[in-house]
A and B are shown apart, each in its own frame.
Chain A
Amino acid sequence: MAAPSTSKAEKAYIQASLQASPPLRADGRTLLDFRTILLETGVAPLANGSARLNIGKATQEGGGGTEVLAATKLEVEDVETGDGVDGGRLVCSVTCSPSAYPHMSSIALDELQYDLTTILNQTLSHPSLHPKNLSILPGKKSWLLSLDLVVLADAGNVFDALFMAARAALWDTKVPRTRAIQYQTRRSGYASKNTDAMEVEGESNITSGFDTRDMARAAADFELPDYWDEGEVLDGRDRWPVCVTLNLLPPVHFLDATLPEEASTTIKLLLAFSFPSNTQSSLQAMRLTGSGEVVLAQMKLLMADGERYAREVFHALELKLRDEDIRRNVKARDKFTVR
C-alpha cells in the first residue's frame, strides 16, 4: 500500500476551502488558475526534439514543482521486413523516476508508468494526428518516431505536464532531409541496343552505378544530404493536443491541482483537445479516473468548459513555443558569429 500523504483533517480543510464562496486554495489561487509553468525546448542535444517543463517551481529555489523531460528520436525502419509501418509511426513511452515517487514500491511505479504510457501513446499515435513526413521511401523505409518522457518530480497535475511537454518536444522535432538513391546496372541500356548479346554482356557489365537521375522509379536506398539545418519540422506541429485535467469536487471543478488537492478529490476528468485551426477543435482523448460518478448532463457542461480552458492553454503554449524558436535561433546565430 502506498503511504498516505494527507490526513483526514487536511482533506476536509481543502474540500471545505474549495467549496467555500469565494473558493480559495492553499496558495491563494482561484479555481481556474495554473501555477507558473517554465518551459525550455532543445535541452537534449542528441535528440531530434526535446523540451523540459516545470509546473509550480518556486521562483528562487532549486527544487519544487512537477518536472517533466521529453525527447524525440528518429530511427529508420524497414517496412519490407515487417518492422515498420508504411508512412512511419510514433511510439510514446513514459518513465517515472523513483525519486519522484519515493514512497511507491517498484511494482506500483511500473503500473503508474504503464498507465501514463497508455494514455499518451493512444492519444498521440492516433491516425488523425499522424505526421505526413515520416515516410522515407514509400513501401520500403520509414521513420520510427520515439517520444520518451521522464517524470523527474511530481507535485501534482502530471497529465497536463506530460501532454504539454510532449507537444513542445514534437513541435521542436526536426526530421532529417532524405534523398532517394538507386543502384543501377547498365544492363538496360545495353539491352535495347544489342538483344542478342544480352546474356553475355549483361553478366559482364554489372557495375553498381550511383545514379540519382531516375530515382523516382525504383529507389533502393536513401542518403542524407548535407544541409545547414537539422532538417524540416515535423508535419502537423499545430495539431498536437493539449490536455486539461478537471478535478471534480461537485459542485465545483478546478484545474492544476497540487498533490494534497489531488488526494482530496476523488474524480478526475482528462480532456485532450487539438486545435487544428482557430475556429475548430477536436476532442482527441477523454478519461475519467477515480471513484465516483458523473451524470451525462454534467459531463457535457464539463466538456464545454474543458474546451475553453484547453484553448487558453493551447494558445499560451503556442506563444511560448514560438518565443522559444526565436530565442534559439538568436542563440544559434550568436554562437555562429563567435566562431
Chain B
Amino acid sequence: MISFASFPVSLQNETQDLTRHHPNVEDDIDMDEGFEEGIHRLTSPGEPLTSSQAFMRGHGTYIDREEVISSVAGTIERVNKLISVRAVRSKYNPEVGDLVVGRIMEVQPRRWKVDANSRQDAVLMLSSVNLPGGVQRRKLESDELQMRTFFEEGDLLVAEVQAFFADGAMSLHTRSLRYGKLRNGQLLTVPSALIRRLKSHFLSLPCGVDLILGLNGYIWVSKHVKQSEQEGEEAFDAEAVYSNKNDDIDDATRLAISRVSNIIRVLAAHFIPLTDTLLLDAYEWAVEQEGDVKDLLQADIGDAMIATITARD
C-alpha cells in the first residue's frame, strides 16, 4: 500500500568529466555543415553553432565572441541566414488552426481568459462561441450578462486557435459542434512537444474511450459519445452543450479511462510522441497482461510496455 524508494541516481558527474572543456579549447565543429533547411540537428545549451558574422541569431541563441551559441537544448532550425533553436521542453507555441484544450481562468467583459499551457493566457471572445438558439446569430446584451452560463471559471473546453493578438496572445473559437465544453472524463498533461499534428485530434479507441489530443499538451480522456448524438446542426441544444452534468458512466468505461490515462503517462514519462496506433498497441498489451491499472505506473512494467510496443514498429 505504501512504498518508499530512493531518488534515481544521476550520472551527471561522469558525463561532465567527459565533455567539459576550457572555453578556449575549440572543438572541431564543422561550422557550416548540418544547417541545411529541413534537416534538424540536436544541440545543447552552450554549444557554439556558427559565426555571428555570417548568420543572424534567432530564438534560443545568443552571441558571445562572435559566435552564435545555443541557449537551450533542442533542434537547430535555419531560415535563410536566421539560426534559431527550438527547445525540446518549452511552453506551447501556438499556430493558427491548432486544436487546443484549455481551462477557463477568468470571465471578463465579452471574453474569457483561457489557460492553454502557453506563455500568455488565451482569449475566447463571446463572439466566437456558439450561442443558444441558432448556429449563427448576433450576440446580444443578454448574452453578455449570462456568460457564466456558457463557461465559468475552471471549466475545460476544446477549441481551435483562430488568430493572434498584437501582443502574441492567441484567440480561440469554438464555432463547431465538435468544440465546446468537456465532460465525462479526466484531463492529462504531457509536454506539448509530444503531440504531433495529426489528421484528426479526436481519437476514438475501440475500448469505448474518446481522446482529444490538444496540441498544447492537454489531453482529454473521456467516455465515447456516438457521432450521431454529437452532431445535429439544426437541433443545437444549449442545455446539452454547456451542461456541467456527466452522463452515466459504467465501471468498465471508467476502468478503461484510467488505463488509457496511465498508458499516456508512461509514454510521456519515456518521452515518446503519441499516435493512435501506439496507443492501441499499448492498450492491447496492457489488457493482455491482466494486471491492475495501477501496475502500469511501476517502473519495470512501464519499461516492459515501452520495450514491447516500440519493438513492433
Contact = CB atoms under 8 A, between A and B. Distances in A.
A64 B259 CA distance: 19
A121 to B, nearest CB: 25
Nearest to A28: B293
A218 interface: no
B261 interface: yes
A156 to B, nearest CB: 14
A13 B186 contact: yes
A312 B2 contact: yes
A37 B2 contact: yes
B305 to A, nearest CB: 12
Contacts of B270: 60
Contact of B299 (A16, A22, A59): A59
A54 interface: yes
A106 interface: no
A28 B257 CA distance: 9
B2 A8 contact: no
A176 B257 CA distance: 55
A9 B244 contact: yes
B1 A312 contact: yes
A320 interface: yes
A288 interface: no
B1 A32 contact: yes
A40 B156 contact: no
A296 interface: no
Interface string A5-36: 11111101110110010101111111011101
Interface string A308-331: 000011001101100010010000
A4 interface: yes
Contacts of B261: 26-27
Most buried by B among A8, A34, A39, A59: A59
Contact of B4 (A22, A30, A37, A260): A37
A317 B3 CA distance: 8
Contacts of A28: 258-259, 262, 292-297
Nearest to A164: B4
Contact of A61 (B254, B259, B268, B294): B268
A89 interface: no
A4 B112 CA distance: 14
Given A4-B154, A29-B294, A34-B2, A10 B186 contact: yes
B54 to A, nearest CB: 35
Contacts of A316: 2-4
A228 B25 CA distance: 43
B265 interface: yes
A12 B244 contact: yes
A26 B299 contact: no
B1 A20 contact: no
A295 interface: no
Given A40-B6, A316-B4, A8 B155 contact: yes
B4 A9 contact: no
B154 A20 contact: no
Contacts of A297: none
A60 B268 CA distance: 9
A35 to B, nearest CB: 8
A158 B156 CA distance: 25
A294 interface: no
A191 interface: no
B289 to A, nearest CB: 13
B255 A24 contact: yes
A52 to B, nearest CB: 7
Nearest to B296: A28
B4 A58 contact: no
A85 B292 CA distance: 54
B153 A4 contact: yes
Contacts of A216: none
Contacts of B103: 5, 7
Interface of A: 3-10, 12-14, 16-17, 20, 22, 24-30, 32-34, 36-40, 52, 54, 58-61, 260, 312-313, 316-317, 319-320, 324, 327
Given A32-B1, A39-B5, 12 more contacts: A3-B115, A12-B244, A26-B261, A27-B258, A37-B2, A38-B7, A39-B4, A40-B6, A60-B269, A316-B2, A316-B3, A327-B6
5 contacts: A5-B154, A9-B184, A24-B254, A27-B293, A27-B297
